[in-house]
Amino acid sequence: MAFPFDEGRIIDREAQIVRAIHRERVIRPRYDILSFPDEHLRERYRFSAESLLYLNNLLHPYIENVTHRGSALSSLQTMCIALRFFASGSFLYSVGDAEHIGKATACRSVRKVCLALKRFMHRFIRFPGHKPTRVIKTEFHQLAGFPNIIGCIDGTHVPITAPSQNEADFVNRKGFHSINVQMICDAGNLISNVEARWPGSVHDARMYRESNLSTKFLQREFDGYLLGDRGYPCLPTLITPYPDPDVGAQTQFNVAHSRTRVKIEMTFGILKERFQCLRRLRVCPDRACDIIVACAILHNFATLRNEFTPVVEEPVPEEPLQQQADMADGHRVRDQICLNHFS
């Protein structure tokens, strides 16, 4: 025989089960993104309405939700969720709250947009650049009189959360976990090459030595030089400053070298100011690399479309901890440039 209070508990439990089965889905309202002014959009997504539409037309076939269910995210909404994450660097649940979606949906949107953007990497990031080589050289020469330059190269560290595997490999010389990213830029702060696949402990010189671009330079596929700091060896195609310059031509050479090479430092500053997520990524290394490449592509997209450029102070170049041994051929090329253009 069941007691009255036991019977009441059974009835309440049955009612809870029924309510759970027939619970009505609550769809939070989503606003029309393009109804806001461009200033509002740039602050949150880094792009104007016109650029958002253009970008959505590119990515739509790869990020649309193929489903017959109602209230699915549109491709524009999916893209803007990812752009908001790139721009703010907030936690995914904060991005989800701002966009009226769940954290899991925000995570899927970011991943989907990253993979879609990588399809357009060679369209927006190309070496030596989007302009003819002679124009690139002229623009670099106008900065400080340095001849025959087609790019400035350097590495930058993007902090990440300590990974669960090979954790020690990602600790850089400054003591925090990071991805070491190699980039090359032109005189207009456009990224012409990016390699985001190395843990923070790897030195800049090794990244360049093992890159496809280094092989192409050795095969003489490009007519011109790269400028790098003393973290790289002085090569016939990669010119570094004099370590202990004499007064006169060598000092003038180093000054022109520094004024020209600062373009890559400014590019890093603009990129990280535009996409705050690169201040620290709370994802595994593989996904961090995809996000870095996606941000580099979006940076070039914004630059080519003359979107607002964040103002950054001209940085003071940092001296590398480990200097690389110069090569004899690199010495001869550097001395020839110094003699012909700075004497």
Q: Give me the mean pLDDT over the 83-104 stretch.
A: 88
| Letter string b/e over residues 134-169, b meaning 16 or more CB atoms within 10 A of that residue's CB | eebbebbbebbebeebbbbbbbbbbbbeebeeeeee
Q: In this structure, how many other beta carbons lie within 10 angstroms of the beta carbon of residue 244?
A: 5
- Residue 179 is which amino acid? I
Angle at the Cα of 248 from the Cα atoms of 246 and 253, rounded to 5 degrees: 85
pLDDT of amino acid 8: 56
Report yes or no: 205 and 321 within 8 Å, Cβ to Cβ: no
Tokens linked to 191: 């990224």
Distance between CA atoms of residues 313 and 211, nearest Å = 30
pLDDT reading at 188 higher than 60: yes
Q: What are residue 324's DSSP bridge partners?
A: none
- Chain-wide mean pLDDT for the chain? 88
The yes-or-no verdict on residue 164 having pLDDT over 60 is: yes
pLDDT tens, position by position, 224-265: 999 999 999 999 999 999 998 888 899 999 999 999 999 999
Residue 319: band (very low, low, confident or very high) from pLDDT cuts 50, 70, 90? low
The Cα 233–Cα 226 span in angstroms is: 12
Kindly tell me if the per-residue pLDDT of 1 is higher than 50: no
> Parallel, antiparallel, or unpaired: how do β-strands 191-199 and 178-185 relate?
antiparallel
Tokens (6 digits) for 326: 């110069």
